[in-house]
Structure 1
Amino acid sequence: MKILANDLKRQYELHAAAYEEKALAVLRSGWYILGQEVEAFEREWANYIGTGYCVGLASGLDALWISFRLLGIGEGDEVIVCSNAYIACVMGITMNGAKPVFVEPDEYDNIDADKIEAAITPSTKAVLAVHLFGQSCDMDQIMSIARNHHLRVVEDCAQSHGNHWKGKRVGSIGDIGCFSFYPTKGCGAFGDGGCITTNDEKLAEDFKMFRNYGSRVHYHNEVVGANSRLDEIQAGLLRVKLQYLEDLNAERRRLAARYLNELKNPYLILPRVREGADSSWHQFVIHVPAHREELMNHLKKHQIGTMIHYPIPPHLSEAYRYLGFHRGSFPIAEKNAEEVLSLPMYNGMTEEEQAFVIATINQFQPGKNV
């Protein structure tokens, strides 16, 4: 039995007829950019997240860097972000000339809110709360710190489509929520896509202007903007998937619950969900403190796919050498990079497939695998 780490074709097949009908309808409409599908998706996603406004964009990275640009954050400013975040989170900060200030993660693999205040300087302008792996940050503490220090809060919800913090969906708590619709995401598109959510009407209008070359009126450009538009086909397909998102998330929670209940190997550390939150389980990430490569090879021999999210923390990447960090600068993020392993987790995974993954992991013994 061959089991992929993530099977996108399987997920497409769950609702193939609906996707194909919508794609064909958009193609036949003759309108492919900033039309009724984008407008409808923006209304529906804002309603789902619980905000007044949503603006469709070309990617999650665009959502991040344009957010900081429109918040006026740039050269000489600092933004606090978790040290184990995906590198795109950091790029969203540095593309505007601002400096990332890294804070180590907690036991939930998200930013340790207890360490944020110590990282604040007179140059700090915002906190980027990254809801990594489908887990929620401690938004009560983050928002309290931000209010006390007059900071903006941007939520990176790229991996958290539909999970909650104390009854509110992530993406509705900070000043701006940033979403990616990359195909592997919970509400993934069939190509690239992204959006922002906010309750600030002026900010939403500024995003609409900026995404279209800085123009509200055709050929009247107010600023040097971007070409960052969610296209009509992707918006239409996202509208279809959004109809099923709660069911898709429920299925992922069932898969996660089974992993949590049945994985018994003592060489693993299983993920935990923060009190007051739920998880959309974008990834099911275990820690393997001493034998990750051996476990990966054991699973590979049995044709079980796994992934590492992420093998290189941003501060050690070649792209950010100029920041002056070195190995040992952020030991928790570095330790995580050597331990984390994402198990197969996708909609449409069968009970038989998951049982095989669980049994194969439970059989693993370092130095004794054949």
Structure 2
Amino acid sequence: MSLAALNDIEDAIKATKRFLTPVDRVRWFRLAVVMFFVGGAGLTFPGAPTTSFGGDTDPTEPTPGGPAGPDIAPELTPELVALILGIAAVGLAAFLLYSVVGATMEFAFVAALRDEEVRLRRSVGRYWRRGLRLFAFRLAVWVVAITIAAAILLGVGASMGGWPPTVWNDGTILAVVFLAIPVLGVGALFLGTLLGFTNVFVVPVMLAEDRGVLSAWRRFWGTLTDEPLEFVAYLFLSFLLGIGVSMAVGFLLVLLLIALAVPFLIVGAPIGFALAMAGGNTAVGALILVLALLYALLVFVGALLIQVPFQTFLRYYALFVLGDVNPDFDVVPDARAAVRTDGGDEGDDRDGTSGVAAESDDGPDRPGDGDDSGPNDRESGGGDWNVDREDRDGDDDRW
């Protein structure tokens, strides 16, 4: 028996080549924005140095026989507390906004591969409600997972060392720590699979049949249980492909770091040396800071652009597998037909004159695109709703 998960890898490569070539810088940069939210980058909040407000010795107490040290402990004033809470609130709001936009971009990514056109502004306007639902689902899954893991660990610790955890001895703490390794490992595996399948399989079902997250999961669950071997094979192969993609991206990123560093050194070193000889230490510092920020920005953008073909391939692969297992969920019929008839080289007239009706940016929505679809759109499946393709050369400046 031939598995779609095995056969679709080559088709996904062809579809990626068809979608991304010839290189269109507008399309690539729009996809780079999608990568920032979906697959190419994320928000990290590195831990800040902590200030000690207590301990075995009082930092304000002078050392016997020595001079009194300066009082460096900050005074916890109401203004400082308000500042800390304000910073925390802004950080939380930024993280929530990033997460909601990231969930919305999952739909924008699939829609871009379906329409073979990247329309960020239109996609955000159409899919933000679904993005909110997807974000709420992700948040609920995380809360439930953390609650279950905490209940297991605290329950085992309480049965061994009593309650509260402050009375646990070293043996109990060590046992809980060792137990946390398999619990968190299994939890991470389950959580990654659940949320990963939601992104690559359930989101397309939501688009194809205009469903919510739970309804789409129930709809997809029947296909998952009917063809478990397909999805197990996909899970294994996507894991291997993910390793290969990570290695390729890492190699290209190293090349990017070196390639960008050379012109910065060639230009910045002589200028910095000349300023240093002139006694402009402040100017040298400012120059180094500006160059470092510019270098970091270029590396960041370059890293996102590097991700574009790899993440596009991985998502095409998942969509091809989904559509082959259940044709009702096929959201990329144009790409599928093109790569399986002529390899994707000539299956699409990219100047918009192939005889297929073009649709403007503000034209009618496809079934399942918006939240105001008619009642007959829900079960339309993957039939012919994706036949009309937008003019590739029209409104390229619109987001």
TM exceeding 0.5: no
More strand by share: 1
> Which range, TM-score by smaller chain?
under 0.3
TM-score, with structure 1 as normaliser: 0.24
TM-score, with structure 2 as normaliser: 0.22
More helix by share: 2
